[in-house]
Amino acid sequence: MSEMITTIDARDGLEACLRELRNRTPRKPPAHIEQSAREIVERVEADGDDAVVEYTARFDCPTFDASQLLVDADTIQAAYDHASADWVRAFRRARENVRRYHEVQMPRSWMEPFDGMIMGEVFRPVQSVGVHVPGFSAPLFATVCMSVEPARVAGVERIAVATPPRKDGSIDPLVLVAAAECGVDEVYRMAGAQAVAAFAYGTETVEPVHMVVGPGNPYTMAAKRIVYGVVGVDSIAGPSESMIIADAAADPAWVAADLICQAEHTGDNTVVLATDSPDLAAAVDAALQSQTDRRDRADLIGQSLADFGLIALCADLHDAALLCNEIAPEHLQLMVADPFALVGEIHAAGAIFMGPLATVPLGDYAAGPSHVLPTGGSARFASGLCVRDFLTGSSLIYATERGFGRLASDVELLARAEGLDAHAAAVRIRRRAGFGPDPDEEMKR
């Protein structure tokens, strides 16, 4: 076995695997990150543009000033000069796939009669959304599409994007073209906790929004946690994660390639292979070394594999599914002979890629579902970003005289049992007006 990744024999139980993974990926952020993010948020709330400019100059572009905060239309249009025609065509095809997927997700408003009542639900879009698009070390133009298109399908009227400037003050042109293609209304040169705060509270230049979405570093996530309630947020996401469940028939070179592609983001990406085949485990281990050496981001890949990678040799695929449900990974690949049978045993995963051809990059760029997914085990109770996140639902209740009469006595009794006399009185005043059973007659009985 190589030293690139840890292998654990879990055929007698999964406890060692789970312990190893929990030790490597603490879920609570360090206190200093929370404190720093709070200071930034409070400063932006108090000082607006001045604070955003100061932090952007400190972290991203040393010569930054307030005039650069909002990207003008001419700069966005000029970005097309740096995007090849082939890239634009590919992006448009991917965008269309994402749009069509989320159009199918759209829930319908409804009203139905129910024994003297008319009840239903009406869905309305959030009015404005701010999308955080981090820079990291790559232009994350796909995040623009994956965050904006579900909002557009939901009917959000105003969508703004925040993304960090480079050291010379420019923004990667592909990010700008992606924003234009997706119909973004505003693009701001800002990122991190200061961008989240600007979206939440507004500044002289940045109009506040109702919801902030998108990935980011730990400071960005801490800021989202702090402003939640002032605005809605999609999730508190961490580094990217991927798990593969594979059987003996899987191609070890393909498995290794898929682990590696998810390990190249930031050097702290969790990648796990669970298999019931000792031969596959050994072959994948060997392939990781040879393939990593050929990748541009070999250092980041090696760091992720060494610090957050794991091969779990399981007794069977059922145990591999149990391990998945405990981990609740952001991405799960089922590289097994019958993925449709195994998927029924999966209860917690952000996105499930079924079969050997469904590699995660298909979902990252073009398949359709958003690649903004729950991390850190939150797939146990949360879902990936989708059209429903940008909708609010209001229940509808209309009472006919018959419907009110059917419920009135029971509601009055239940309200009194809770000690809420005013609730009961709100029903009784209508009964005394002749609607529903006469309360005085009831008391006589």
- Which residues are known to be catalytic? 330-331
Q: What is the CA radius of gyration of the chain?
A: 26
Cβ(268)–Cβ(307) under 8 Å? Answer: yes
Distance CA 327, CA 197 (A): 31
Q: Which of 390, 369, 383, 364 is nearest to 141 (CA)?
A: 364
Q: b/e per residue, 291-323, with b = 16+ CB within 10 A?
A: bbeebebeebbbbbbebbbbbbbbeebebbbbb
Q: Please report, for residues 215, 373, 397, the alpha-carbon distance to residue 223 in angstroms, rounded to integers and kept in the order given.
A: 12, 18, 38
CA dihedral 269, 275, 281, 285 (to 10 degrees): -10
Q: Which helix (H) or strand (E) holds 95?
A: helix 85-105
Q: Tell me which residue of 36, 420, 430, 402 sits closest to 221, measured CA to CA.
A: 36
| Residues 6 or more apart whose Cβ sits within 8 Å of residue 298 | 292
* Cβ atoms within 10 Å of 86's Cβ, excluding its own: 8
Which two structure tokens, joined as six digits, stand for 255?
């498995």
Strand order in the sheet with 117-125: 110-114, 117-125, 391-399
**Buried-exposed string 115-153: b where 16+ CB fall within 10 A, e elsewhere:** eebebeeebebbebbbbbbbbeeebbbbbbbbbbbbbbb
Please say whether the dihedral angle defined by the alpha carbons of residues 222, 225, 228 and 232, taken in this order, is positive or negative. Answer: positive
SS3 201: helix
Find how far residue 329's CA is from the centre of its chain.
Answer: 13
Please return the burial class of 32, using the count of CB atoms within 10 Å of its CB with bins 0-12, 13-18 and 19+: exposed
Closest CA to 149 of 82, 188, 92, 98: 98
Decide: helix, strand or coil at residue 121: strand
CA distance linking residue 23 with residue 205, whole number of Å:
44
